[in-house]
Structure 1
Amino acid sequence: DEFGRQKTGDPIIIGTDDDDHGYCMIRLLDGSYLISGTSFNTTQKWGYLVNISSDGTVMWEQNYGGYQELEFRDAYEANDGNLIMTGYSKRNPGDDTEAIIFKTETDGDSLWCRSYSWPDNDVGVAIIESDKRYHVLTTATNVTDINLSRIRMLNTNTNGRAPTDCEIKIDYLSGKDITKINPAGNMYILGNNEDPASRVSSIFLGELELISEGQITTLKNSASIPYPESLHAESLHAESFAPVEEKNELAIGGWQGNP
C-alpha cells in the first residue's frame, strides 16, 4: 500500500527458465509497469523486459540477444511512446563492455540498439529524455585498474546518433541516477565517490548544464555529501533520488555502512 506494507497475497514471481535479475521498474502512462534487467545462464546474458498490469498480470515479456552479454540497467518511456533502455553490451568474451541505448516499441518489438565505447569498460546506469535528446549517465571503469572509475554523460538524438559526451574528471566516481530537467534547463546526476584505500564512500551530487539545444553538457556545480556523525557509520552509498518539486529539494535513497 502507500505505506510500503505488503498487501494480502504472495509476492509476484516473474521470469524465464534461466536466472533473472531485475534492475529497474517504471510506471508507464497506461498505468502498467515495465521491469528491465537481464536473463543469464552459464554461457550468455540476454537483455530482459517484462510488462505487467497494475495487478501483476504479465502482459508481455521478451529476451533480447545478439551479444555475449546484454543487460538493461534502466528504462524510460520516451516522448514518442516507445521504450528506451540503457545498460551494456559485450560481443565476445574478453571484450570491453560498451554502454548502450536500446529502443523498442510499446509491445517490446525491437527498433534499434546503439553501442558507445571509450577506452574503458562502460556501463549505462540511467537514461532520460529532454527535448529531442536522450541523456545517458554511464560509469567508466579502467580496464587495468578496476578501482579507478569515472562517470560520463552521453547525449544523442532520438535515433541514438550524433553522440556527444561530457566526462566528469573526478576519480573513483560511479554513477547511479539522473533527474529530469529542472526549471533552469539543467539536470542533476547522482553517484558515489569511494576511496579505494579506505573504502570510505561519500555521495556525489552534480548539476549539469545543457548547451546548444541539449547537445552538449558540462558540469556546472557539484557537491560531496559525507556521512553525518549522527549515523555512526563511515560510508554513505546512494542508489537513487527524486525531486521534491514543491520544496525545490532532492530526496536521496541509499544505504550506510562501514568499510
Structure 2
Amino acid sequence: MFTKRLYIALLVSLCSSFAWSQSDQAFVYWQKSVGAQGEDVLNDMVKDDENNFYVVGSTQTAGSQSMDILVSKYSNGGRELWTRTIGESGDDRGVAVEFQNNTLYVLASSTSKTGIFSANVGREDLYLIQMNPSGTITSNTHFGGNKADLPTDLAIAANGDVLISLHSTSTEGDFDLNKGQSDMWVMRTTAHGDLLWKYNYGGSDEDFTTKIAELPTGEIVFSGHSSSFDGDMMLNYGDFDLSLFKLNANGAILWEQNYGGLQAEISVDLLIDESEHIFLTGNTQSLSFDISKNAGFSDAWVLEIDPANGSILWEETHGSEYSDYASALSLNEAGELFLVGTTNAPVFYGEVSAGNKDTWLARIDSPESIEHLTLFGGEGYESISKFSLEADGSMIVVGSSNSQENLFSDNNGMSDGWLFRFDTKAFNNHSEDAVSAHPNPSTGIVYLNHLSTKDEVVVIDLSGNIVIEAFVPTAFSQVLDLTHVSPGVYLVQIQRAEGSELIRLVKN
C-alpha cells in the first residue's frame, strides 16, 4: 500500500468539478478546446471515408469585434491535421458541413459588406464553399437578397446534388418572394453549386428552418418552427409550433404538419434512419394538444413521425422543473436513438450539476421511453451542437464551453469550441473494467479512466524514481499532466484493495 501524501510533486489536474452520472460512468479519450481569445463555437461535424472528421464553426480573435468561419480537420484519435479561417470585416460563420466524393461542402453566412469572395447583396448572405481534403478551397457559390438570408443546414442527395435550407426576410435578389415576415426556403444545386431550383414556404407571420434531409425514396423533408396560421401552414396551436414539410425531388409540397401546444415550441434537429423513420426533436413550454407531459418551464421534446402523412406515431418529453433543452439526435450502429441536451437544473434526474448549464445524454429505448444516462460539464456552461456515436461505443461531440477548470483548463478565451470524445458504461454492461490511459503515447495530457476513489495512484520512471507522488483519485476519470516530464517510458501503478495494476505509458 502506498503512503498517502498531503502534497503532489508534479501538477495532477483532478476532474472533481466535472460531473458524471454515478450509475453510468464515463471516461475520456481526449478533448480539445478550439478557438482564439474571444467567442468561439463549433456548429457541425462530418466524417470522411478514412475516419477523419471535419468541424465547422466560428472564431473570434482577441480585440476583434467580428467572427470568422472556422474549418478544421482531425484524425480519429483527435490530432489536429489542419485548420482554416475564412472571413472579412463582418461576421462570417460556418453553419453546416458535409463530405461526399472526396469533397468537403461548407455552408456559411456572412454580414461582411465586401462578402467573403464577392460583395454581399444584403444584410446577411449565404455561401456554399467547397474544399478538398487538404483544406484548399476549390469553388464557392454566393446567394443573397436585399435583407437577411440565414442558412441553417445542408444535405447531399443520393445523386450528388446539394440541398440547402434557410430562412429569409428578403424581397429582392435571389430571394425575391416573401409570404410574411420571414419565409422558409429550400434550394437545390448541382454538386458544383449551380442552382437547379429554389422555393419559399410559409405564411403571413414568422417561419424559420432548422434541418433538411433526403429520404431513401429521393423525397425531401425539412424542419423548422412557425407562428403562421395560413399560407402553406395547416394550422397553429399557439405561439411557435414545430413544422415539418415533405417535398418531392423538385420541391413541390407533398404534405406539411405542425406540432405543438398553446405555448412556444422551437425546432432543433431532424433525423432519418435507414428504415425511413423520421425523428424530430425540439423544445416545448406547453402542456396541451400534442404535448402529453411537461415537467417545468421548458422540456426537450422528441417525436417519431409517419413519413406517409406526417402524423405523430409517438412523442415524449425529457426534463425537470427547470429549463431543459434538446440539442441534437444521433443513431448508433445498432440503430439505437440517442438525444443530448442542456439543463440549468442544480440536480437533474438525481445527478448534481457541476456548473451553470450542463449537458445530458439520454437513450430512447422504445416509443414513449427515454432513459436518462449521464450528465456532464464544467463549472461554467456547455452546449452541444452535434454528436456522433462510434462503433466502439464512444461518442464524439462538438459544441462550446466557457468552463476553465480541470478538464477545461486549456480554454483559450471567453468561450471555446469544444471537441470531446468519451465512452460511457451506458453503452455496455461491463462492471469491473481495467484502468485505461488515453492517449498513449502522449505528448503531455493523459486521461486515466475506470478509477475508483479508493485507489491510490503513483507514476514512476523505469529507474524506479517517483515522477508523480501518490494520490487518491477523486473522480472516475482523472487528468494526468506530464507536460513537464521528459520523453520516455513510465509506469502508472494503481493500488487497489484486491491488488495492483500497472500501465505502461509512453511520453513523446
Q: Provide TM-score, normalisation by structure 2.
A: 0.44
- Per-residue CA distance 1:148-180 (angstroms, 9 max, x = gap): 321111122111114421111333221121113
2:299 corresponds to which residue? 150
| Matching of residue 200 in structure 1 with residue 200 in structure 2 | no
2:143 corresponds to which residue? 14
User: Higher strand share goes to which structure?
Assistant: 1
- Of residues 135, 144, 151 in structure 2, which corresponds to 1:5? 135
Structure having the higher Rg: 2
1:213 corresponds to which residue? none
Give the Cα–Cα distance (whole angstroms) in 2 for the partners of residues 140 and 88 of structure 1. 11
Structure 1, 90-99 or 111-120: larger mean CA deviation: 90-99
Once the two structures are superposed, the pairs formed by residues 94-109 of structure 1 within 5 Å of their partners are 95-109=238-252
Preserved contact between residue 237 and residue 261 of structure 2 (Cα < 8 Å): no
In the superposition, relative to structure 1, how do residues 112 and 17 fare at CA in structure 2: closer, same or farther (>3 Å)? farther
| Matching of residue 257 in structure 1 with residue 402 in structure 2 | yes
| Matching of residue 133 in structure 1 with residue 277 in structure 2 | yes
Letter in 2 for 1:124: S
Secondary structure of the corresponding residue to residue 13 of structure 1: strand
Give the Cα–Cα distance (whole angstroms) in 1 for the partners of residues 138 and 271 of structure 2. 34
Structure 2: stretches of 5+ with no match in the other structure:
1-130, 172-179, 230-235, 288-295, 347-353, 404-413, 415-508
Give the Cα–Cα distance (whole angstroms) in 1 for the partners of residues 268 and 210 of structure 2. 6
1:110 corresponds to which residue? 253
Give the Cα–Cα distance (whole angstroms) in 2 for the partners of residues 62 and 97 of structure 1. 22
| Matching of residue 79 in structure 1 with residue 216 in structure 2 | yes
Preserved contact between residue 179 and residue 242 of structure 1 (Cα < 8 Å): yes
Give the Cα–Cα distance (whole angstroms) in 2 for the partners of residues 4 and 13 of structure 1. 22
In the TM superposition, what is the alpha-carbon distance from 1:141 to its structure 2 partner?
Answer: 3.5
Which 4+ stretches in 1 moved above 3 angstroms? 1-4, 15-18, 92-95, 130-133
Structure 1, 78-87 or 94-103: larger mean CA deviation: 94-103
In the TM superposition, what is the alpha-carbon distance from 1:46 to its structure 2 partner?
Answer: 0.8
- Per-residue CA distance 1:71-115 (angstroms, 9 max, x = gap): 220112113220111111112699411111111111211111101
- Of residues 379, 383, 389 in structure 2, which corresponds to 1:243? 389
Q: Alignment RMSD, CA only? A: 3.0
Secondary structure of the corresponding residue to residue 395 of structure 2: strand
Higher relative contact order (CA 8 A, sep 6+): 2
Q: Provide TM-score, normalisation by structure 1.
A: 0.81
Give the Cα–Cα distance (whole angstroms) in 2 for the partners of residues 33 and 56 of structure 1. 7
In the superposition, relative to structure 1, how do residues 107 and 199 fare at CA in structure 2: closer, same or farther (>3 Å)? farther
1:49 corresponds to which residue? 186
Give the Cα–Cα distance (whole angstroms) in 1 for the partners of residues 165 and 396 of structure 2. 23
- Per-residue CA distance 1:11-37 (angstroms, 9 max, x = gap): 432234442111111222111221112
Structure 1: stretches of 5+ with no match in the other structure:
211-215, 228-232
